A and B are shown apart, each in its own frame.
Chain A
Amino acid sequence: MSQSSQILDPRLLAAKSGRWHPKPMISNATLRWGINAAVIVYLVLLYFSVDINWSRVAQGMDRGVAFMGSFLTPDFISRGGEIMVGLRESLTMTFAATVIGILLAIPVGLGAARNIAPAPVYFFCRAIIALSRTFQEIIIAILFVAMFGFGPLAGVVTLAFATIGFMAKLLAEDIEDAQRDPMEAVKATGASWLQWINYAVQPQVMPRLIGLSLYRLDINFRESAVIGIVGAGGIGATLNTSINRYDYDTSAAVLLVIIGIVLMSEYLSGYVRKWTA
């Protein structure tokens, strides 16, 4: 059965005499050494670039412990009014922005799918998506606050814009990956463009869209708690102030509220997904 007299491969010969080691992950030796060298060079550069003031860190440890301890004594009451207002702003901003964002993301997503859109529309939509996704929500918030003034409106526009980029990209990818055959079949019946979308594209894309929308709702809520720092409304401003004043009990209260809402929304979204599946 075995042709032992014809074994030429050195690895097999070595194994026969009891020596064997697994093949390296990257087979091309020069590539492997190149990557290893690059990593070492990077680590050396890193060591010299990062300058940590360890004495400052040691000084701050008390504050760190105080912060962690404050989670056991959260204060919902002293600044309760501000927290409620901020929370209400955050929640309304989240919901409104997600709805607007998804509604606008549908045309942009359709326009960004190579198999549906003509070239100029495709490039335009892809550009919008790129802009929206490259910049963190805070940067977008700064710009919109400069345009629309302080307040939750700027926040809604910011989150809606971010939602468009997120949803449209994934929607476009889904459409591009959609099965050809049903799309051809519906087209062959002579359906209008809108009917074609509704009957051939939408059913394939819908389930994932619903899941993604719920996920984005969650992300938007978390972001809405942050953009308040630059004046775009929501609970972020209260949080920021409380931290800067070392009022850690209030900070802990706000953080616990945020964690609680995220937990609840995760639970609910799992439920909704099961119901709509």
Chain B
Amino acid sequence: MPVKTINNIPVWQRREPLKQRLIWFGYFLALMLFLLCWKIISDNTIWEFLTDAHIQAASLIGRMIPPDWSITGALLLPLWDTLNIATVGTALGVVIAFPLAFLAARNTSPHPSLRAFALAVIVSSRSINALIWAILLVTIVGPGLLAGMIAIALRSIGFVGKLLYEAIEEIHPTPVEAVTSTGAGRMQVLAYSVMPQIMPAFAGITVYRWDINIRESTVLGLVGAGGIGLQMNAAINNLAWGQVATVFVLIFGTVILSEWVSAKVRHAVI
């Protein structure tokens, strides 16, 4: 909080003038960048289409309401598939991410080269969405649930791995020292002094990712990787918006439920 004197009267300013100018400049840069982006997007947009956007929106909503409930029965099995994709995918991802996190954490990694490898795997997994993995996997293992499960697993490795290794790096070191000084082996030290400390974080992260994965799994069917996305894709291609609306309602209900479960579990494991 700098105080200047002008004519022997102290004047307070919130920030140093230089810093204030830098901040204004930063905002100016951001504004320029924004206008530039806007121009590029605008050039690629056919603005005439927008004049009737509100009409389009109204007609779309009109066709979606009321939803076509007749297909609800046929949607239950695909919904079950979606749930399984999310659950199995999360389980697979977690099983791989768990040892990976230990390799990536500064305080438990056996060797810097292993640490670099683990971090590289985690970053690559994080950068690519499940949907992209799904497109790839459908061409490799064929359409169906397996592609979806592996896609979810591959994406989850990065998410769970990153949060988990950050949790491992934040543990108290003295219990680890204490167990080491009894002469316990390396794995015993990890199991007795590191694991109990990260258990709450681990459970919370896993359930959180499962919850997000339910959402992700609903759309994998669009590219053929199984689940309710298949029905949604078919309905959209047939422009049967009433059916699309039913799918939406089912997805909404499922996500609300999974969020409730996730919140409950995360509260219970402190």
Contact = CB atoms under 8 A, between A and B. Distances in A.
**Are chains A and B touching directly in their complex (CB below 8 angstroms)?**
yes
Interface of A: 46, 49-53, 56-57, 59-61, 63-64, 67, 88-89, 91-93, 95-96, 99, 130, 134-136, 138-139, 142-143, 146-149, 151-153, 156, 222-223, 225-226, 229-230, 233, 239-240, 243-244, 246, 251, 255, 258-259, 262-263, 266
Nearest to B30: A99
Given A151-B45, A151-B46, A60 B142 contact: yes
B144 A52 contact: yes
Contacts of A99: 30, 34
Residue among B60, B128, B216, B248 having the largest count of chain A Cβ atoms under 10 Å: B128
Given A139-B248, A142-B236, A146-B60, A92 B140 contact: no
A55 B175 CA distance: 51
Contacts of B141: 56-57, 60, 64
A258 B133 CA distance: 13
A234 B81 CA distance: 30
Nearest to A131: B252
Given A52-B146, A57-B146, A136-B216, A96 B37 contact: yes
Contacts of A61: 140
B139 A243 contact: yes
A272 to B, nearest CB: 10
A49 B84 contact: yes
B20 interface: no
A38 B251 CA distance: 23
B250 to A, nearest CB: 11
B69 interface: no
Given A57-B141, A67-B136, A225-B132, 7 more contacts: A134-B252, A147-B57, A148-B53, A152-B40, A226-B132, A229-B131, A244-B139
Interface string B213-237: 0011011001100000000100010
Contacts of A229: 131, 135, 222-223
A91 B149 CA distance: 29
A229 B126 CA distance: 19
A135 B229 CA distance: 12
B255 interface: yes
A92 B42 CA distance: 11
Contacts of B191: none
B45 A259 contact: no
A20 B137 CA distance: 49
A99 B41 CA distance: 14
B44 interface: yes
Band of interface residues on B: 35 or more
B34 A95 contact: yes
Contacts of B33: 95
B128 A258 contact: yes
Contacts of B252: 134-135
Interface in B223-266: 223, 232, 236, 248, 251-252, 255-256
Given A53-B142, A134-B256, A146 B56 contact: yes
Contact of A88 (B40, B81, B128): B40
A201 B116 CA distance: 41
B41 A259 contact: no
Contact of B123 (A52, A95, A152, A263): A263
B145 A52 contact: yes
A222 B144 contact: no
A63 B41 contact: no
A222 B129 contact: yes
Nearest to B42: A153
B192 interface: no
B25 interface: no
A199 to B, nearest CB: 12
A152 B219 contact: no
Nearest to A85: B44
B142 to A, nearest CB: 4
Interface in B18-63: 30, 33-34, 36-38, 40-42, 44-46, 49-50, 53, 56-57, 60
Contacts of A147: 53, 56-57, 60
